[in-house]
Amino acid sequence: MKNNENLFQTIVHLIVYRGKAIERFFLIAVILCAVCFPFVGVNYDLSKYLPAFAPTKQALDVMEQEFGYPGTARIMVKGVSLQEAKRIRSQISEVDGVDLIVGADLLTNVYMGNEFITNDLTDEFYKDGNAVMEVIFKDGDSDKTTHKALDEIYEIAGRDRSCFSGSAVSSKEREASITREIAIAIVMALVIIWLILTLTTTSWLEPFLFIFVMIVAIILNMGSNIIFGTISFFTFSTAAILQLAVSMDYSIFLLHTFNDHKKTGLDNNAAMEAAIKEACSSILASGATTIVGFIVIAFMRFTIGKDVGFVLTKGIICSLATVLLLMPTLILHFDDKIIKTAHKPFLPSFDRFGKAMYKIRHFVFLFALLVAVPCYFGQSMNVFYYGDDAIGAGPGTRVYEDTKEINDLFGKSNLVIAIVPNGSIVQERELTDTLEDLDFVNYALSMAGTLPAGIPESFLPKDIKKQLRTDQYARIMISMDTEQESSYAFECNQKLEETIKSFYPDNSYVIGMTATTIDIRDILTDDYNKVSLLSLFGVAIVVMITFRSILVPILVIIPIEVAIYLNMTLPYVMGDSLVYIGYIIVSCLQLGATIDYSILMTNNYLALRKTMNKKQAQITAISKSTLSIVTSGGILTVVGYLLYFTSSIQAISQVGRLVGRGALLSMVLVLSLLPALLNSFDRQIQKHHTDVCREEEIKPKRKHFSGIKKKTPNDSEDPAETEGGKDNEINTENELERPDSQETK
């Protein structure tokens, strides 16, 4: 133990007295990570995160091996004749990256008389002078080759007179907008966070110092993502801004702990050593609860959880390292400027707020009892979305409006690909005819079904032949008249699979966004139960170690869990739908990121309870904790709602809204419900809490409490209750110094 203490002392000494070396190290690290950042790939395809055992994953592996892994798009050209549509389709078919394009002229000679050129395909692909085409690319939706091909297609078809939809188009538009939207959100977040910090700190320079340290940590995290090669669009969109919001408190706490020690008469270096020693355990404990909330996401079988969990966890580690290593030397360098730019506090005392919360404690307690159980069950009653439709562009975007216009004229086209073993051409034709007879199928295109009886396959163009048959497998293109994701689409996809299996029981596969979404749904639903329990258990262990108690962790977690249940039930009440990935991630994130509010409140209450009766302790704990909780919760709330208002991607926007609302609800319940719980269970806490039971009689705690008259708690007779409370109610404005520093999470 003594060796560990000596080692810790040596490390702290090096941090304080080797500041220039630390600064050089971080400068080099930031430059390297900034250079690496542009080379981090971003993936937009959710199917890439399916586990190996998922049927869709197995089907995709077969298709990729036999036919490639194609992206798809749907194009509608307005005001064209069949002949013009053929010319456009022919030009698009020559674009590098395009594998197959299906249009009205695919199986007919459009230069014959009109009475000879009408068939099933012309009815499906040409109406009222408008031609629609289905494009299949050689590479995936988010591949650079596919996006380059789309740029050429835009020029050929005419961006102004055409509509474009499909997963490849959505992917390209997301990639084009996501970086711009993130930049806007981060800039806006920095401005608003600066305003919040300016209101809640006492120096004009402090907010800039805090923000600079967090920017360094964000660059380190985002650039070091190159170790993963590729990260998901979801992680890319949210990691930086959430890291900024969640870990800002670490640097705030270190600076104000340093200021506290300076007031005792220590010189700057000695005060910084003392501050690091004191703050380190609190900062690491705070980081540990957040890391637990993030790391459990990595246990999802749908491996986007690993992507999100590892990147966010790494972000918190980068923030902790930056605050504990770089921040001390920056504080020492700029301490004189911090003093010169000091100003009076802008916010008033929260003493009256603490008294108001005490008066409504019974109402708050009753409210929590009434809503907890209904909200626990209500959150599972939401309408959930799981697949690519859930991450598509929202209303008002070009992709959304184009898709709506195409669907209004030609109906929905949900492309499904069936892969069956090569065998009897007659059997393949019978399957194709059976599929086309299904009332929800627009068309089914296969090698055998395309050719009239007796016509050899050599009659078909080469691009169609290579798309529809290999040595081992035949492929059938099927268009379902459904959305990609709905209960009706799921039923139709199941019926489609049953029909195909009735002809080819073995080695046959169905691939498409609907089939992928079904697998994602089944896996994510099971993941939620596992991840939420792991998150709750992990955080409870950290809190239990912190307080060395069984009861206190339960009380600490209750307000956050009620806030989570309420947050996730509100979409059901308001009639909104939820993206299930966001539902899982935000549930864990909200617990890990806001549990520190509860820990701070509880720590303050237990410390004050040694000198005060429980009424006084509750009021003063609220007053003392509010500034820190409002600062931290306000930052997270602002960041969440900025994502909601700035992102055109529905999944990101919705996650932002859940994060912002969740932080706000956690903040409110920690300031109202938790003190009421601590007050109600005070006797049990005093009896079972190890620190309270075993520590010696009260010792003055830091300068903040120097004005408090010491009192010995009497569990059997609480003066606040037996003597009417008024004479014993402290006047915090007169008897307490207002805290000149924030506590943190």
Same domain, 355 and 301: no
Q: Please give the pLDDT value at position 693.
A: 44
Kindly report each contact of residues 461-468 with a partner whose C-beta sits within 8 Å and lies 24 or more positions away, as own/partner. 463/93, 463/99, 463/100, 464/100, 464/106, 467/67, 467/99, 467/100, 467/136
> Is the model more confident about 221 or about 183?
221
**Whose CA is closest to 193, among 253, 256, 246?**
246
On the question of pLDDT at 742 being above 60, the answer is no
Residue at token pair 């499906």: 124
Q: Is residue 223 part of a domain?
A: yes
Secondary structure element (H or E) that encloses residue 701, with its range? none
CB atoms within 10 A of CB 713: 17
> Please, which pLDDT band fits residue 202 given cuts at 50, 70 and 90?
confident
Cβ partners under 8 Å of residue 482, min gap 6: 412, 414, 440, 488, 489, 492, 514
Measuring CA to CA, how many Å separate 539 from each of 292, 542, 578, 659? Answer: 6, 5, 25, 18
Phi-psi category of 347—alpha, beta or left, where left has phi over 0 and alpha has psi -120 to 50?
A: beta
Asked if residue 453 is part of any domain, the answer here is: no
SS3 label, residue 419: strand
Q: How far apart are CA 574 and CA 658, in angstroms?
A: 13
Q: Looking at residues 735-743, what average pLDDT do you find?
A: 38
What are the pLDDT digits (tens) for 347-371? 788 888 889 988 888 888 888 888 8
- 309 shares its domain with 366: no
Q: Within a 10 A sphere around the Cβ of 423, how many other Cβ atoms? A: 11
Residues in contact with 668: Cβ distance below 8 Å, sequence separation at least 6, in sequence order: 563
Rounded percentage of the chain residues whose pLDDT exceeds 90: 23
Choose the final residue of a domain: 345, 373, 394: 345
Give the list of residues 6+ apart from residue 385 with CB closer than 8 angstroms, or none. 485, 577, 578, 579, 580
Strands of 495-629 (E only): list them: 509-512, 577-579
- Please count the structural domains in the chain: 3
Do residue 157 and residue 217 come from a single domain?
no
Read off the pLDDT of each residue in 667-675 and give the average, rounded to a whole number. 92
What is 84-100 written as a DSSP string?
A: HHHHHHHHHHTSTTEEE
Does one domain contain both 258 and 360? no
pLDDT score at 731: 41
Q: Is the pLDDT of residue 678 over 60?
A: yes
**pLDDT number for residue 741:** 40
Q: What average pLDDT does this structure show over 646-660? A: 86
Bridge partners, 42 (sequence order): 231
Task: Provide the CATH number for the domain around residue 215.
Answer: 1.20.1640.10
Q: Residue 689's pLDDT band (boundaries 50, 70, 90)? A: low
pLDDT digits (tens, 9 = 90+) for 482-526: 988 889 999 999 999 999 999 999 889 998 889 988 998 888 888
Between strands 383-385 and 577-579, the pairing is parallel
Range 620-633 burial, b when 16+ CB lie within 10 A, else e:
bbbbbbbbbbbbbb
In the numeric block, the tokens 């690496």 are attached to 36
How sure is the predictor about 1, in pLDDT bands with cuts at 50, 70 and 90?
A: low
Q: Is 527 exposed, middle or buried (0-12, 13-18, 19+ CB in 10 A)?
A: buried
Residues 6+ apart with CB under 8 A from 183: none
Bridging pattern class, strands 126-127 and 130-137: antiparallel
In this predicted model, what pLDDT tens digit does every residue of 517-555 receive, in sequence order?
899 888 888 888 888 888 888 888 888 888 888 888 889
pLDDT at 704 over 50: no
Does residue 226 have a pLDDT over 90?
A: yes
Q: Which tokens hold the place of 47?
A: 């199917």
Does residue 704 share a domain with residue 654?
Answer: yes
Query: Which residues constitute the domain of residue 18?
Result: 1-39+201-345
Residue-level pLDDT at 124: 77
Percentage, residues of the chain above pLDDT 70 = 86
Tell me: the pLDDT tens digits for 554-598? 899 999 999 999 999 999 888 888 888 888 888 888 888 888 889
Q: Is residue 639 part of a domain?
A: yes
Residue 533 lies in a domain: no
Token look-up 């269970």 returns 681
**Is 390's pLDDT higher than 50?**
yes
Q: What confidence tens digit (pLDDT) does each residue in 78-111 have?
A: 988 888 888 898 899 889 988 888 887 765 555 4
Name 163's bridge partners. Answer: 76
Which is more confidently placed, 340 or 692? 340
The pLDDT assigned to 3 comes to 67
Task: Clarify whether residues 99 and 211 are in a common domain.
Answer: no
Secondary structure in 3-state letters for 201-254: CCECCHHHHHHHHHHHHHHHHHHHHHHHCEEEHHHHHHHHHHHHHHHHHHHHHH
As a whole number of Å, the CA-based R_g of the chain is 31
Instruction: Say if residue 359 is in the same domain as residue 292.
Output: no
pLDDT exceeds 70 at position 698:
no
In angstroms, rounded to a whole number, what is the distance separating the alpha carbons of residues 544 and 682?
Answer: 17
Residue 261 host element (H or E) = helix 233-262
The reply to whether 603 falls in a domain is yes
Q: What is the CATH number of the domain that holds 160?
A: 3.30.70.260
**What phi and psi values does residue 7 have, to the nearest 5 degrees?**
-65, -45
Q: Above 60 in pLDDT, residue 263?
A: yes
pLDDT band at 455 (very low <50, low <70, confident <90, very high): low
- Write out pLDDT tens, residues 435-451: 989 999 988 888 776 65
Residue 744 confidence (pLDDT): 40
Q: Is residue 575 part of a domain?
A: yes
Residue 143 contacts residue 98 (beta carbons within 8 Å): no
Supply the pLDDT for residue 61. 87
Reading the block at residue 94, the tokens are: 């020559």
The answer to the question of residue 430 being in a domain is no
Residue 24: the pLDDT is 94
pLDDT in tens, 33-75: 999 999 998 888 777 888 888 888 888 888 888 877 778 899 9
Nearest to 727 by CA among 703, 709, 740: 709
pTM confidence score: 0.79
Residues 376 and 353 in one domain: yes
Indicate the residue among 320, 345, 370 that finishes a domain: 345
Do 235 and 366 fall into the same domain?
no
Asked whether residue 673 is assigned to any structural domain, the reply reads yes
Q: What is the mean pLDDT of the chain?
A: 82
- Name the domain boundary from 125, 152, 172: 172
Do 168 and 284 lie in a common domain? no
Task: Find the CATH number of the domain harbouring 622.
Answer: 1.20.1640
Pair type for strands 230-232 and 126-127: unpaired
Q: Which of 202-206, 473-477, 651-655, 716-720 has the lowest mean pLDDT?
A: 716-720
The Cα–Cα gap between 23 and 25 comes to 5
Task: Please state, in angstroms and rounded to a whole number, the distance separating the CA atoms of residues 252 and 247.
Answer: 10
Same domain, 720 and 642: yes
* Residue 175: predicted pLDDT: 80
pLDDT at 456: 57
Closest CA to 234 of 226, 246, 242: 242
pLDDT for 719 equals 41
Check whether 405 has a pLDDT greater than 50: yes
Whether residues 323 and 256 fall in one domain: yes
Mean pLDDT in residue range 164-187: 84
Q: At what angle do helices 580-609 and 551-574 cross, to 10 degrees?
A: 140
